[in-house]
């Protein structure tokens, strides 16, 4: 096979590997076409919700807690040829947001959600940033490629995981448990300095800086791991 042909095949394979969120890597002819971004649509969920699950694939996720007693969802799709089919359901007290896509190069949904402050949140996306703000329930955020940012958390338990992207989390109340890990990217965790913490950090390439009070017997635990990136744990 000529060198140029081998390069073209390799480039196509690399594109599919680098973009697992794309449902239609076989349709490489669409690469030259720009994605469509539809206007955002919004709806309110009035049912009693104690847990929010966002099962994303591609697109940002932004969840904010407030004193409201309903859930307000805004969703904005992006796609190459066919809009994604969005869905939401309430089972018990758990609200799940998700979508499906026809085979195409680009397909995703960006979510902006406002919830009661005490709602537990589980957010997952393969490609896109996750932002959590002013939440007091347990939180979990996971992305393959994207930055995870959390501010003003009063959550007793928090778990953050990013394969490629940093993690920046700040707590307004001392958490019982924080777990943060990333393969590539820095981790920064800010917690109230009024408490002491049992801290466990690990990084292969990068420095770990811990300036909070440490106590191996503390009920407040922080575990942070980065294969390639610095780790900073300090008073907020």
Mean pLDDT in residue range 190-214? 97
- d(C-alpha 148, C-alpha 205), whole Å: 20
Asked if pLDDT for residue 1 goes beyond 90, the answer is no
- d(C-alpha 73, C-alpha 95), whole Å: 11
pTM for the whole thing?
0.85
- At residue 35, the pLDDT reads 82
Mean pLDDT (the chain) is: 89
- List pLDDT tens digits, range 31-48: 445 688 999 999 999 999
Kind and range of the H or E run holding 74: strand 71-79
Tokens for 127?
Answer: 């490609």
């Amino acid at each position: 096979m000529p060198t140029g042909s081998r390069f073209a095949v390799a480039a196509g394979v690399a594109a599919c590997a680098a973009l697992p969120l794309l449902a239609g890597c076989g349709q490489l002819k669409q690469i030259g076409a720009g994605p469509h971004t539809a206007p955002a649509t919004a709806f309110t969920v009035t049912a009693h919700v104690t847990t929010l699950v966002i099962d994303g694939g591609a697109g940002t996720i932004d969840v904010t807690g407030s004193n409201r007693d309903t859930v307000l969802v805004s969703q904005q799709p992006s796609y190459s040829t066919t809009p994604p089919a969005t869905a939401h359901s309430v089972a018990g007290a758990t609200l799940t947001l998700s979508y499906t896509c026809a085979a195409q190069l680009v397909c995703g949904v960006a979510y902006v959600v406002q919830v009661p402050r005490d709602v537990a949140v589980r957010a997952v996306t393969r490609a896109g940033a996750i932002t959590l703000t002013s939440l007091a329930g347990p939180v979990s955020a996971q992305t393959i490629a994207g930055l995870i940012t959390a501010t003003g958390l009063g959550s007793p338990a928090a778990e953050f995981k990013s394969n490629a992207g940093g993690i920046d989390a700040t707590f307004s109340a001392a958490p019982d448990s924080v777990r943060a890990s990333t393969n590539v990217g820095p981790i920064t965790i800010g917690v109230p300095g009024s408490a002491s913490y049992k801290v466990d950090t690990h990084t292969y390439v990068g420095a770990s800086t811990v300036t909070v009070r440490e106590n191996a017997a503390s009920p407040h635990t922080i575990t942070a791991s980065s294969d390639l990136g610095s780790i900073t744990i300090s008073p907020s």
